[in-house]
Each structure stands twice: as structure tokens, then as C-alpha cells.
């Protein structure tokens, strides 16, 4: 399990509010906004790992780059899916983080910013693989070329020998999702070298405010 106090060093704490997407969408300004990523249909894939793992989309459906195209403020991140309980009934760890990643050499990325703890809904307890949950932020800045990832803590434990099944992925031709797994190895400043999952799409979308709406991210 990661130490969140270490994760949030160097001023990386990001203000947040997690709600159902339909409740927060209307609160996002309509000016100078760009949409990135896509939510697809119901999540059908999970990629469980027992310890800390970052997932980031590198190629979208159809093969286009998933890098951020502009400097701005990530106001809203929406994720489709849920955390699956164990077959024996134990409830899963639901805590996740959203991170910004900066490209490095040889296809690596480095972790720049990490949000505070967020929670995914639990499959079968008011949520399903079609559920969309949104997380609203105040200070999650990105620049052109960055990636935004979905970071989990693994959740190894009774009922979860391989980690929690976060069902937040779907099949999509041309899409590629990278992952990196290392116990306490996805903290701010860490260098991640991804393993590519071809044809797998992280079902995550962003709303990015630019210009004056970026509020401190210019």
C-alpha cells in the first residue's frame, strides 16, 4: 500500500470532488474547453495487479496519439466502469489516483502530479461496467505532450491474490494502453516504462480548460 503523504509531496495535492458524471457536467464552463479521450461502451476488461500500477492510453481507437494536445487545466476526468468484489464476496479496495505524466527518453514517462485519493464505485452495489464516475479538479495542470493516467494501489489481500479487478477497459481496434507495476514505484518523480496492451482502451475522458479558464496553468 502506498504512503499518500509521500505521493502528495512537492505541492502536488490537487483539489477534487468525486460525483456521478451527470451531476457535475453542467458545472463545467463552456468556454475554452477541449475534450480528450473517450468512454466507449461498457467496460469488459480488467488488468489486475497486486501492487501499485499506472495505466495510461498511448493510442486512441483508430491509432491516433493519446498525448494531450495543449497546455491547460484538467477540470474533469470521467471513468467508465467499477471495482469488482472478490468471488467470495469481499469488497475491493476502491481508492485510486489520477496522475499527469511527462514523456521521457526511450518511451518512458515520469510522474509529475498526483491527485489525492479518489474512489471508484463497486460493481453490483449501485454500479456496473457501464457506470460513469467523474472527478472534478482545481489544480491538475498539463502541457502539450503529457499523458493522464489511472493509478491503482493493487489491492492484494484476502480474496484478491492477483489484485482488484478494476473493470475500466474495453476492446478497440488501434488503441493501446500502457501499464507499469511496482510496489510504491509510481510516486511523483518516478520514471515508468510501460508495457503495451494492444487493442485495449482505457475508458477515461477529460475536459481541459485553456487560456483564461486554465486558472494558474498558463
> Which segments in the chain show pLDDT lower than 50?
1-32
Task: Please give the pLDDT value at position 32.
Answer: 46
Q: What is the largest CA-CA distance in the chain?
A: 51
Task: Please give the pLDDT value at position 36.
Answer: 67
Percent of the chain beyond pLDDT 90?
Answer: 76
Nearest CA among 42, 36, 62 for reference residue 199: 62
Nearest CA among 136, 113, 101 for reference residue 208: 136
- Radius of gyration of the chain from its Cα atoms, rounded to whole angstroms: 16
Task: Please give the pLDDT value at position 38.
Answer: 78
**141 vs 122: CA distance, rounded Å:** 29
**83 vs 128: CA distance, rounded Å:** 9
Task: Please give the pLDDT value at position 33.
Answer: 53
Task: Please give the pLDDT value at position 212.
Answer: 86
Amino acid at each position: 500500500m502506498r504512503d499518500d503523504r509521500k505521493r502528495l509531496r512537492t505541492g502536488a495535492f490537487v483539489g477534487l470532488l468525486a460525483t456521478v458524471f451527470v451531476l457535475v457536467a453542467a458545472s463545467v464552463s463552456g468556454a475554452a474547453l477541449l475534450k480528450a479521450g473517450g468512454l466507449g461502451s461498457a467496460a469488459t476488461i480488467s488488468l489486475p495487479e497486486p501492487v501499485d500500477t499506472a495505466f495510461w492510453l498511448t493510442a486512441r481507437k483508430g491509432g491516433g496519439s493519446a498525448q494531450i494536445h495543449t497546455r491547460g487545466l484538467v477540470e474533469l476526468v470521467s471513468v467508465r466502469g467499477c471495482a469488482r468484489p472478490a468471488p467470495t464476496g469481499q469488497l475491493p479496495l476502491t481508492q485510486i489516483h489520477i496522475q499527469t505524466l511527462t514523456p521521457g527518453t526511450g518511451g518512458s514517462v515520469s510522474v509529475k502530479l498526483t491527485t489525492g485519493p479518489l474512489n471508484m464505485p463497486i460493481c453490483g452495489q449501485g454500479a456496473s461496467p457501464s457506470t460513469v464516475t467523474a472527478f472534478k479538479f482545481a489544480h491538475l495542470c498539463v502541457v502539450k505532450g503529457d499523458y493522464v493516467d489511472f493509478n491503482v494501489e493493487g489491492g492484494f489481500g484476502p480474496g484478491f491474490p492477483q489484485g482488484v479487478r478494476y473493470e475500466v477497459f474495453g476492446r478497440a481496434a488501434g488503441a493501446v494502453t500502457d501499464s507499469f507495476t511496482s510496489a510504491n514505484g509510481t510516486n511523483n518523480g518516478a520514471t515508468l516504462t510501460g508495457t503495451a496492451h494492444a487493442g485495449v482502451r482505457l475508458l477515461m475522458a477529460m475536459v481541459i480548460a485553456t487560456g483564461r479558464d486554465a486558472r494558474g496553468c498558463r
